[in-house]
Structure formats: C-alpha cells, structure tokens
Structure 1
Amino acid sequence: MSDLRLVVFDVDGTLIDSEHNIVTAMTEAWSRMELGVPDPSDVRRIIGLSLVEACSVLLPWAPHNLHRAVAEAYKDAFRALRLLPDTVEPLFPGVREALDELDSAGWLLGLATGKSRRGVQAMLDAHGLEGRFVTIQTADDNPSKPHPSMLYRAASDCGVEPPNLVMVGDTAYDMLMAGAAESVALGVSWGYHTMEELRAAGAEMVIDSFDNLCDIAATLTGTRR
C-alpha cells in the first residue's frame, strides 16, 4: 500500500469567501431569464454543486433545457462580475499557512470543486496559488458532488490510497463525497452548511480554523510521522 498522503480542498466556502459574488451572479442570471429573484439563502445552500445540478435544485419544476440556459446566463454574469475592479473573493484566514505546513510535512495537495476549470484558474491567479496543487478536479471533467468521481480521480492522479486522502470542505456534498470514496471527511465551520449538517453527512471532525490542520489530517488518516 502506498504511504503517500493527499489533502483535497473544496474551494468556495472552504478556501475562498465567494458567497456574495455567487449570489449576485445567480440573481443576474434569473433576471435575464425573467425568473424573478432567487432567495439568497437558497443560493447559498447549492454552493458546491456543479452549476447545472445547482440550477436543477433551485428550479425543480423547470425542464432540463432551462436549467442549462440559466447556467449559461450565470456564467456570463460571473465573467462580467469578475472584470469589475472591486470584485474580490478573499482567502479565508490561515489558508496560506496551512498549505505551507502541509507541503513542508510531505502532504500532496489537491482541489475538488463545482467550479469550472476557468473559474479555478482565475482563483489561482488572483491569489498567487498556481502550482500549489498537484491534482485539480472540476465540474468540467466530473459528475457533480456528492458523486465520488472527483476523489477517485484525485487519488489515481497521485497514487494515493483512498484512506490516505482527506477531503476538506464546508458542505454536506463534500462529506458525502468523501464517504462514498472511502476517504476521510473533514468539515470546516465557516462555510455554507451548518456543523450539524456536516456531521450528519459523515464528517469525522469539524474544525473552526486551519490551525493544526497538518496534525489533524495525520491523526484522522493514522499516518502521523
């Protein structure tokens, strides 16, 4: 069995605070499609799903072609939003330090996100994180969370056994995905689903900060060195 270890991070709500921009873009998409105004709390709850899947949850009565049309309108709105000089999606506290500590301890790092590859690249460029992640799994190449495809592919990319993979995320979708992949589910409390929802979805632990993430990951995988 390989002794390589991998921490895979969700992006929205885990590494970056993107709620405002996502709600703004979805509101604009609904306006363009003459659908009224979405409830921001409903939009918050679908963050983490792939875009068409998210639209199907928000609009369960609508046909699939409308879900796809809303998704395209959202993409257009988000691209326009990203061009504005005051558009920001800040990193949550402790992200850089946690990545540095994990890297120094020999952990491989990855991403698994409902974002498109273009969206991930924009995030990496904005925060100077290019080259930090050895595997990047996006909605372009995988089924939506909580399907385990993203984690299966991440583990395969890195030659890591699933029990040595820690999925760090803020939603039940992340925790369910980790469970389906037989990997470690580690929740964060500052994102878009509650701590109770994370635990109910299988989180082995829910953390309040990135402090000591390296030690926590090692303990949960039983690979402390």
Structure 2
Amino acid sequence: MIFLFDLDGTIVDSAQGIINGLLYAFNKSGDEIPEKGDLKKFIGPPFMDTFTKEFGFSKDKSKYLIELFREYYFEEGQLESEPYEGMKELLEIVSSKYKLAVATSKPEVQAVEILKNHGLDEYFHFIGGATLDNSRIKKHDVIEYVLDNLDVNSRENTFMIGDRYPDIVGASMSGLRSIGVLWGYGTFEELQFHKADYIEESVDGLKDRILSF
C-alpha cells in the first residue's frame, strides 16, 4: 500500500503564511485587497488557477502576483506553519507499515523545506511538488510525477489524501482512491461532490482508516 499526502491543509496548517503572502502580493501590486476570510478558501488549488479563474486576472498579471507572493513566502511565509495536532505521531506509525510520499501543488523546494523544518521529511520516500516555472502545477501532473518517482506498479493499492477538490479530482484522473480530510481548508460538501472514496473528520480517524487497509 502507498499513501500520497497533500501538504497544506493536510499535514500542516499553513494558512497564516499563505494569507500573509497573498496580502503582501496584493498590497505591493496595488490591487484591491480581499478580505482574509475570502483568501482562505483559495488555499489548495494552484495560484495560477485562482488568479485567472476566481479573480479574472490575465496570465501575465497572475504570474506577476505569484512572483510577489514568493518574495514574501520564501523569506517568511514558509516558516509560518505548524503540523496539525497528532500528525507527527500518525506519520511515525503509518510509515513503519506503508510507503508514504507527498504530492503537493506547492513548489517542491518549499515543500521540502517546510517538512524539514518540522522534522517530518524522514517519514516520506519522496516529496513531490510543483515547479517554480509553472510547468508542473496541476495536482494530477504532480501525482503522476510522484508515482513515476516511486516506480508504482499497482495503482489500485495507492491512495491520495487531501483536503481540497484538486486532491480528489487528481486522484481519480490517476486511477487512485482518495481520502478527503476535514481539518484543512475544504468542506464535507466539496469532498463529497467530487466523490472522495472516504472522508475523515480527525487525524486519529485518518490514522485508523489507513491502518485498516
């Protein structure tokens, strides 16, 4: 069995750093700054999709905002995160039984740094994420990249775990089963609508679910 974990909203609560980075980008660009509560719902999907589809910006403007966001995030934002309560214990237990990896739409270099900062990188066989040039940002593409690096033979025994719809949709596109989690930034309705195979309310519930396979 192999379990792929999303990062933001699944392993770590990174809302503070991401929201601060977005506020920095909007402030520096001179655009109207959205309410913090509105920004939180955009955590998860690639920023290129959020800026073009949700805010209606052009691709060039979106790239500029992403560059501004990264100015803040590389210096401060990636330090503004904390593992969810019980997550370290979950990873310690399940990594002794199954192969674990990370599949995140966050740039891979940032994901690796965040997990190292929290002492969680040792539990994963591979940490895969997006590229800084946006050539790999969709969750499906990240999942395929991670599967290639893990040399996965049987996808029916591989799960994607995440809190938002790209995790569930990406898993389905790659022929994986999915486990949605409710302590992140998505909702039960979102995960149910996109047909998550399982939905867990707590870290302990996820641990029990994984160990039941």
RMSD: 1.9
Structure having the higher helix fraction is 2
TM-score by length of 2: 0.89
Q: Distance in 1 between matches of 2:63 and 2:89?
A: 38
Q: Which range is displaced more, 47-56 or 183-192? A: 47-56
TM-score by length of 1: 0.85
Matches within 5 A, 1:28-177: 28-60=24-56, 62-82=57-77, 88-105=80-97, 107-140=98-131, 142-145=136-139, 148-160=140-152, 161-177=154-170
Matches within 5 A, 1:20-35: 20-35=16-31
Q: Give the residue type in structure 2 aligned to 1:143.
A: I
Query: Alpha-carbon deviations, 1:32-84, whole Å to 9, x = none?
Result: 10002123233222212223233223421x2211000000000002223248x
Q: Report the alpha carbon displacement of residue 215 of structure 1 after superposing the two structures with TM.
A: 4.8
Q: Distance in 2 between matches of 1:215 and 1:31?
A: 44
Q: Percent identity?
A: 24
Q: Give the residue type in structure 1 aligned to 2:61.
A: L
SS at match of 2:123: coil
Query: Alpha-carbon deviations, 1:71-111, whole Å to 9, x = none?
Result: 0000002223248xxx5311001211111121221x11111
SS at match of 1:136: strand
Given the alignment, which residue of 168, 173, 185 partners 1:180?
173
CA contact (8 A) 1:9 1:168 kept: yes
| Equivalenced residues, count | 209
Q: Which range is displaced more, 113-122 or 69-78? A: 113-122
Unaligned regions of 5+ residues in structure 2, if any? none
Query: Alpha-carbon deviations, 1:131-162, whole Å to 9, x = none?
Result: 321122211162323xx222222223223222
Q: Distance in 2 between matches of 1:82 and 1:151?
A: 24
Q: Distance in 1 between matches of 2:76 and 2:53?
A: 23
Q: Report the alpha carbon displacement of residue 182 of structure 1 after superposing the two structures with TM.
A: 1.4
Matched, 1:200 2:196: no
CA contact (8 A) 2:182 2:199 kept: yes
Structure having the higher strand fraction is 2
Q: Which range is displaced more, 31-40 or 73-82? A: 73-82
Q: Is the radius of gyration larger for structure 1 or structure 2?
A: 1
Q: Give every structure 1 segment of 4 or more consecutive aligned residues whose post-TM-superposition deviation is greater than 6 Å.
A: none
